[in-house]
Structure 1
């Protein structure tokens, strides 16, 4: 391998356009990897997103940040990070890219350990698990396993009898489904849900999600359920390539009593309004890095015919893999 033809640069404002152009053309990148999305929370992370060039042309990107313990994450602020590559990139090249990036992080950034979140296969336009083979070769250890629930929209599995019963119940009410109507109404319900049930809060503030919606109007949409002119439930969806991903779900007491979310998801999944998409992904139903399964939550998702797709995390120590 001729290392001299490769250079590694860190993403900053000078390279934003180049970065975003590559993301647009990459076979496995999504709009979450666009600098305009990644950097909405730049104040929370010490960003160290990397640009790998060969003969001064970008061949790969690695979104990431470094914490106070000199651990590199790909990326803590994203659901998945991963090495972003071109359609024509081959497996042996990805193995080279990992060696170059490992050396850079070890020698230039004093990184001791890498925690890596590959992009789940459903988000890639074409097969793109070269990085997971590289991780295997590096002896990376799987440290987290998120079980998400996903439907193939043109191969739906029949819904369970309990979901059908809840949907039938919900159809007694005069619900309205509104799109992008009022984020404030939904966010109030979402904050109450997370605060009361889990003593936590949404990853995004209302101001942040509003800003991201303005930046990515076609990729972020809110579907809310109103009853008697009041919001009772909703789902914030991300449109990521060929995947409809449920980013947030929330329902107030009235919404729960009336099975409003069953009404909404029956509409979203069964009415073929996403006929140009391939997957409907409910998101994960786990805690504690996957060791605790929320059986009630996954029971509801699987009731709609969703089955498991994994969101994995790996770790390895750089000094153990450098040759």
Structure 2
């Protein structure tokens, strides 16, 4: 008979063990390191969980509590079970059984579970999807992201190639930069004018995170002379690259600055990586598709990857 799996609630003293596990997991990314998750600890009541087999960690769940609901951490775009190489399908099923029993005992009535998209897996890690199916979980959101498979990428569209030529003829220069404030002005003005909203992160928060993760968070800008006219904040780890923020000023759009920027990132800077993920182009849990936004990303050779969210109630 298999040894019983044990559940443990995260406490700060477990940070070294947690971070070591994330770094060596099948499907963990740097967003699950505690120095990233905890930067907004004032906004969320952390309720992350650890699962042990024979005393050793085999899985963790980044999570927070909101009333009687346990969420895959609301401060993260994704974040289901992070698994070790020792965590088999049977053990994942047992983890879910244990999790539901524990949540019920603790007064929870619902679990909202955001899967880690498979493009971020170092090794196949979809046992949780099977466990969700077995437990009659309900798919409540399916957001669509656009991802380039770099080793066999689809060529840029004619429109994007024309933009690259226009940017070069206008003297646009692309470079890695530390000038977050200049880019944040472009980003904030763009989001305010088009969508009447602000970036999820303040420039101070992004500066803090970039300082904590200098090898994972980078800023690239496209400049006309001394002026930042476009830019992109990149999250990178192992074989994947994700564009967290993308924006251009009206001048930058006229010059095709983003076309040149992404040409550089995909064909030069990150040509040795596996995937380049542009991020989601959907809203309202996936019920609305921003066709103009996704068409631009598809012009760089990107195609669809889903970010799924499930719910289970008892």
TM-score by length of 2: 0.97
1:141 Cα shift?
A: 1.0
3-state secondary structure, aligned to 2:46: coil
Given that 1:181 and 1:224 are in contact with CA atoms closer than 8 Å, whether structure 2 keeps it comes out as no
- Quote the RMSD (CA, aligned, Å): 1.3
Indicate which of 303, 307, 312 corresponds to 2:303.
Answer: 307
Residue matched to 2:90: 92
CA contact (8 A) 1:243 1:280 kept: yes
Displacement of 1:203 in angstroms is: 1.2
Deviation at 1:122, TM superposition (A): 0.6
- Name which of 266, 288, 293 aligns with 1:292: 288
Q: Deviations over 1:204-256 (max 9, x none)?
A: 11111111111111100000111120111000000033111000001111111
Matched residue, 1:41: 40
Residue in 1 that maps onto 2:242: 245
**Whole-Å separation in 2 of the counterparts to 1:161 and 1:178:** 24
Deviation track 1:44-101 (CA, whole Å, cap 9, x = no partner) reads 1111001112232212101101113x11111111010110111132111100011111
Q: Does 1:117 align with 2:114?
A: yes
Task: Return structure 1 stretches of 4+ with deviation > 6 angstroms.
Answer: none
Mapping of 1:257-276 within 5 angstroms? Answer: 257-271=254-268, 273-276=269-272
CA contact (8 A) 1:224 1:231 kept: yes
Moved more, 170-179 or 148-157: 170-179
Asked if 2 retains the 8 angstrom alpha-carbon contact of 1:49 and 1:62, the reply is yes
Where does the alignment leave 5 or more consecutive residues of structure 1 unmatched? none
- Measured in 2, the distance between the counterparts of 1:179 and 1:169 equals 21
Across the two proteins, how many residue pairs are aligned to each other?
314
Aligned pairs (5 A) from 1:176-255 = 176-255=173-252
Q: Tell me, what secondary structure is at the counterpart of 2:45?
A: coil
Q: CA deviation at 1:10?
A: 1.5
Distance 2:2 2:260 in 1: 59
